[in-house]
Amino acid sequence: MQLRWGLRTITGDYRDNNEDRGLADERGRFFIICDGMGGQAAGEKASEMTVKLVADYLEKHLDFERAGSEKVRQTVDEAVRNANGEIMALGEVDPLMCKMGTTIVFLLNVTGKIFVGGVGDSPAFRVAGGKIEKLTKDHSLTQALVDAGTITVDEARTHRFKNVLWRYIGTKEGGTGTEPKEFPVAKGDRFLLCSDGAVDGLSLDQLKSVLEKAGDPQTAADAVVEAARTAGSQDNITSLVVFVG
């Protein structure tokens, strides 16, 4: 399976620093986006550390040519659990890093199979067959309220707790699993991993249109960022687009 990809990240118009980090493995085996949080430079440190720690762990412990589905799920969960422990430990010994944390969303390409999962509210999407589908589930208070039937999906988009997470890297709950799922793929499928700033103000239909119009993944990644910026995103904006075939 041949993959092509593009990555773009910007600080945005309303922030002083960029706490997002993204990584596309040069061999097309794994793709990671992290969106950090915390005072001073703590968010940047958390996202930067998590990207590197998870990537290094996958390099050392996952056979991308032979691993079965269960091994993939086990290894990526271990990679994130390891990073979560490191983030929590640094937060305890360095006052400047206290309460730092980050989200993570990833796509793995193992033996021609695609796995997607994450922790927090950085989403992943797939455009296939003329439709767009969100592949991840947010670990946010608003999503919990939606699941409980207390509010609707439309209400969640503007709810005052929409950016409050109950689970992310840097907390005890952050190491309890990434819910990785295997997705069938076909030539022409397009995947988007992003920070939540990339979908701030954009509807699914708008996102689908942007991803479908682009002729190559870097153009698509750039277009997602610019569309979010034009829509008035209040956050850092990071977009990683993967084309299949």
- Chain segment 91-115, per-residue pLDDT in tens: 999 998 998 999 999 999 999 999 9
Coil/strand/helix, residue 170: coil
Given a contact cutoff of 8 angstroms between Cβ atoms, the answer to whether 107 and 180 are in contact is no
Beta bridge partners of 23: 32
Both tokens of 8, joined, read 């773009």
**Mean pLDDT value across the chain:** 95
- pTM, 2 dp: 0.95
CA dist 225 and 197 (Å) reads 9
End-to-end Cα, the chain, rounded Å: 7
pLDDT interval class at 31 (50, 70, 90) = very high
CATH fold for domain 3-240 = Phosphatase 2c; domain 1 (3.60.40)
Residue with tokens 């709810």: 159
Which position has the higher pLDDT, 156 or 26?
A: 26
Coil/strand/helix, residue 224: helix
Over residues 153-161, mean pLDDT: 82
pLDDT at 39 over 80: no
pLDDT (0 to 100) of residue 209: 98
pLDDT (0 to 100) of residue 40: 67
Chain segment 193-235, per-residue pLDDT in tens: 999 999 988 999 999 999 999 999 999 999 999 999 999 999 9
Domains of the chain by residue range: 3-240
pLDDT (0 to 100) of residue 110: 98
CB atoms within 10 A of CB 44: 21
